[in-house]
Structure 1
Amino acid sequence: MKFMSNFSVAIASRPALREFLLNLLLQLAYREGDFVLSSGQKSSYYINGKEVTLNAEGALAIGRLILPLLPPQTDAVAGLTLGADPIVSAVSVVSAYEARPIPALIIRKEAKGHGTKAYIEGPTLSSGAKVVVLEDVVTTGKSALQAVERLKDAGYVVEQIIALVDREQGGGELYESLGLKFQALFSIRELQQRYQELSVSN
């Protein structure tokens, strides 16, 4: 979908932003074929979220859509490297423009091999700080849980996970079974429905 030249992600309404981001995901990130996911599962489609999260307008749209979903008392956003890195950065930058500055934390999969040997990059927060975990694409849910565990080990409180896309393959149910609130900007059903509509129209 092509937007008019005067369309601006910076000032667009929430419905317009969502429409823009959905179409950007289909244009840049969604592919059908035979794929093997990081979980080892085989899939008939693949979503390369970084094609959108590292896109300037895509990142801004994501930041503007996720920020209002954060609880008022949120002290930071965090995510497991690499997929979540541009998302937490986008939300943090947008929060500053909205006069609600929220720092971003990046969770390493393995401890840094030098210096502090830390798992968590970013400002050190007070014990009990409330952190929301962000993710690009959720399948089984295990990647974001790794971030949750690291944050809890550091003394932070995690009660919510927000994703760009939910593949609806058990991740959301896993989070809820552990008492974690979960929401995604888009479900895989929504992406595939729009993909089919566009395929028919073309």
Structure 2
Amino acid sequence: MNTEDVLDEFRGAGALREGHFILSSGRHSAMFLQKNLVFQYADRTERLCKALAAKIEARFGKPDVIVSPAVGAIIPGYETARWLGVPSMFVEREDGGFKLRRAFRIEPGARVVVIEDVITTGGSFREAVAPIEAAGGMILGCACIVDRSGGKADVGWPLVALATLDVPSWPADALPPELAALPAEEPGSKRLRA
């Protein structure tokens, strides 16, 4: 599966959106990949995650466990783990940082791949690594459905992406005039408060 095949899955689900979006990283973009519109379809999710599992295994060998940051990456993490035949876990935010909760336990020395859905800066991946390493897990690398940084995201470990796009994003204080003129929408969940 190549980048165009991945984008076809997003287009087919109505998940490739244009406008003014505030991303989970806090950066602004004229394009948003509404991945949950894709992940609501088991057949689309299966095709994407089966291909991602094959790329992971080709790059790292078979991991012992897949860990995903909640909430957005839980579904692709689970489905990719299913294709690899390994357990799927997730980290979730508690007191501002990611933690392993819900009785999830990583065995010391376990080979871990962290699955993300869409990355822009790699920030969620870097945050998700801390509780995994604290539990004794050995990070092999990161994998994602879409790397929208064009390969420039600093994840700190090797990165496997099913699709790589170079989609510009800007800090709030440096928006191009045509983007600043549009109302901003924040479709992600990272900064939602209870």
Which TM-score bucket, shorter chain as reference? 0.7 to 0.9
> Partner amino acid for 2:109?
G
3-state SS of 1:108 partner: strand
Q: CA deviation at 1:169?
A: 6.8
Structure 2 counterpart of 1:184, from 161, 171, 176 = 161
Question: Structure 2 CA distance, aligned partners of 1:159 and 1:143?
Answer: 16
Deviation at 1:69, TM superposition (A): 2.1
Instruction: Tell me the number of residue pairs that the alignment of Structure 1 and Structure 2 aligns.
Output: 160
Q: Which of the residues 162, 173, 177 maps onto 2:143?
A: 162
Higher-Rg member (1/2): 1
Which residue in the other structure is 2:10 paired with? 25
Could you list the structure 1 runs, at least 4 aligned residues long, displaced by more than 3 angstroms after superposition.
18-21, 120-123
Structure 2 unmatched ranges of 5 or more: 168-194
Give me the identity figure in percent: 26
TM-score normalised to structure 1 length:
0.70
For residues 149-196 of structure 1, the C-alpha deviation after alignment (integer angstroms, 9 at most, x for no partner) is: 121111101121011111117763x12xx3x10121112249xxxxxx
Q: What is the match of residue 82 of structure 1?
A: 71
Q: CA deviation at 1:66?
A: 1.4
CA contact (8 A) 1:31 1:46 kept: yes
The alignment status of 1:67 with 2:53, answered yes or no, reads yes
Question: Which residue in the other structure is 1:104 paired with?
Answer: 88
Q: What letter is aligned with 1:83? A: G
Length-normalised TM-score, structure 2: 0.73
Which residue identity does 1:148 align to in structure 2?
V
**Structure 1 segments unaligned to the other structure (5+ residues):** 1-13, 96-100, 112-117, 191-202
Equivalents in 2 of 1:86, 1:139: separation in Å? Answer: 19
Query: How far off its partner does 1:122 sit?
Result: 6.5
Name the structure with the higher helix share. 1
Q: Which aligned pairs between 1:132-151 and structure 2 lie closer than 5 A?
A: 132-151=113-132
- The answer to whether the 8 Å contact 2:64/2:112 transfers is yes
Would you say the 8 A contact 1:29–1:47 is kept in 2? yes
After superposition, the Cα gap between the structure-2 partners of 1:120 and 1:73, relative to the gap in structure 1 and judged at 3 Å, is farther
Question: C-alpha distance in 1, partners of 2:11/2:4?
Answer: 11
Aligned with residue 40 of structure 2, among 38, 42, 54: 54
Counterparts of 2:106 and 2:134, CA distance in 1: 13
After superposition, the C-alpha distances for 1:73-96 in whole angstroms (9 at most, x for unaligned) are 41011110011100111112223x
The alignment partner of 1:135 has SS state of: strand
> Secondary structure of the residue that 2:52 maps to in structure 1?
helix
C-alpha separation in 2, matches of 1:171 and 1:102:
29
Change (3 A) 1:134 1:141: same
Aligned position for 2:190: none
Deviations 1:38-66 (A, max 9, x none): 22222111111111123211111122111
One-letter amino acid matched to 1:102: V
Q: Greater relative contact order (Cα 8 A, min sep 6): structure 1 or 2?
A: 2
